[in-house]
Amino acid sequence: MPPYELLKSESGPNLGIFKIRIDYQKNNRNQHVLKAAVLESADSANVVAITPHQEIILVRQFRFGIGEETLEIPGGIVEKGEDIQTGCARELLEETGYASTNWQYLGAIQSNPVFMDSLLHQYIARDTVLVQEELQLDPAEQIEVVCLPQKEVRQLILNRTIQHPHTLTALMQYFWQLDQKKMT
């Protein structure tokens, strides 16, 4: 028997990139019924973009949930019917003006399984070069592009300047691959 039994679902408001669904789940351990809000969303993608000078391209942007700017890797929602890597390349170009033809898929992680139903697909883009000066930002975006040496990015992780969990998981995988290559 599964730990929870879905009793019913109700549609909630559509908030643009998210739609709220209310699930009523019965805990089979104690019969308690939980009313859980689930954010339904399309999958998203982000990218560890590396320049030919081995710098990592980051974006500084305001995040409404915490009311502060964050430093993170570029990425965003994949559009309906869009290939995941194509969406990732589009987001990289829109947010930074950079592009690459050298892509590696790192895999997918759960966005936030506590209350979200979507996946985040992560990539590495190597030999990333600036191809357009003007950014193509969504109306709610305000982004500053920051290119930093990899050693400095590692330090920003250690001193907790970079805290966005999706950025941290992608950078962890990227740096792990680099460290593995050094060991062989």
Q: Give 136-180 pLDDT, tens digit per residue.
A: 888 888 999 999 999 999 999 999 999 999 999 999 999 999 988
Q: Where are the domains of the chain?
A: 4-40, 44-183
Q: What is the mean pLDDT of the chain?
A: 95
**Domain range 44-183, CATH class:** alpha beta
Residue 184's pLDDT is: 79
DSSP secondary structure letters along 38-88: EEE---EEEEEEE-TTSEEEEEEEEETTTTEEEEE--EEEPPTT--HHHHH
From residue 33, alpha-carbon distances to 4, 112, 115 in Å are 9, 22, 16
Q: Locate tokens 């033809």: which residue?
A: 101
Structure tokens at 169: 């998981």
Question: Which of the four pLDDT bands, split at 50, 70 and 90, describes residue 63?
Answer: very high
- 75-90 tens-digit pLDDT: 999 999 999 999 999 9
**Cα(153)–Cα(158) distance, integer angstroms:** 9
pLDDT at 102 over 80: yes
pLDDT at 182 over 90: no
pLDDT at 71 over 90: yes
From residue 47, alpha-carbon distances to 61, 99, 150, 156 in Å are 16, 11, 15, 18
Residue 140's pLDDT is: 84
Structure tokens at 130: 């600036």
pLDDT at 131 over 90: yes
Structure tokens at 78: 């994949």
**Cα(147)–Cα(109) distance, integer angstroms:** 25
In this structure, are strands 44-50 and 75-77 parallel, antiparallel, or unpaired?
A: antiparallel
Helix pair 150-158, 165-183: axis angle to 10 deg: 130
Residue 183's pLDDT is: 83
Residue 107's pLDDT is: 95
